[in-house]
Amino acid sequence: MALEDVLELKQQLQLRAPWIADHTQRVADFTDVYLDALLFREYPGLNQSYADKIKFAAHMHDIGKSLMSPDLLNAKEFSAKQRKSMRFHPISGFNMLLDIDFDVALMIRQHHENYWGKKGYPDGVQGDDISLGGRVLRIVDSFDAICSVRPYNSSPLSYVSTLDHLRESPHYDSSLLAIFRKLFYTGACVIDNPKKPAANIFFLPQSPVYSQN
């Protein structure tokens, strides 16, 4: 698929499910700041060009949902069949991005894979078999999903409770998560105010926190 076609689908998705557009923008904002911190710390396996791909993948991570009906996108609860359809979106997104950039396509395919336990989807891969981009998106996407209002969740957790929840879960790469948590806690200026734009939550990039271990 050509990039312009994918962007058109993204726009259509935005109209059919504005909450997904808001979620995607927050995930992209968090990912931007998070990756700048990881680059500053020279996180193994990460360089500027791969980080740029992750940032792009953040904008596109749920693009596979553009193939779903508005009813399904905005459902308050899911039947087993609907859940199965919903779980196909990483594969749809992978197929859409495949001709544009394989690394990005793979990150999108893997953004719901679990670091431990092989219980993620769609492939059930785990550990470092999940691309670094997939592991980064898994954290940031879950963080926003758990602490934001969605059609099927009107009682989101606070930022602090969400971070605790992530820490207790086996779904995330713990070394990456530790940096996400540290970045958040040291830089948080508006904790527990979900109305603030995501980028305001993190500290500025000039912060000395980036040089801490």
Which residues form the interface with Fe ion (CB under 5 A)?
62, 141
- Residue 18: exposed, middle, or buried by beta-carbon count in 10 A (0-12, 13-18, 19+)? exposed
Classified as helix, coil or strand, 130 is coil
Least Å from the CB of residue 48 to Fe ion = 24
Quickly count: other Cβ atoms within 10 Å of residue 9's Cβ: 20
User: With respect to Fe ion, which residue has the nearer C-beta, 29 or 141?
Assistant: 141
Give least dist CB 42 to Fe ion, A. Answer: 28
- CB of 113 or CB of 141, closer to Fe ion: 141
CB of 47 to Fe ion, least distance (A): 25
Q: Is the Cα dihedral 93, 200, 169, 186 positive or negative?
A: positive
Least gap, CB of 171 to Fe ion (angstroms): 13
Closest by CA to 108, choosing from 54, 182, 175, is 54
Output 121 or 210, the one with its CB closest to Fe ion: 121
Of the two residues 177 and 210, which places its CB atom closer to Fe ion in the complex?
177
CA–CA separation, 98 and 2 (whole Å): 10
What is the rounded end-to-end Cα distance, in angstroms, of the chain?
A: 42
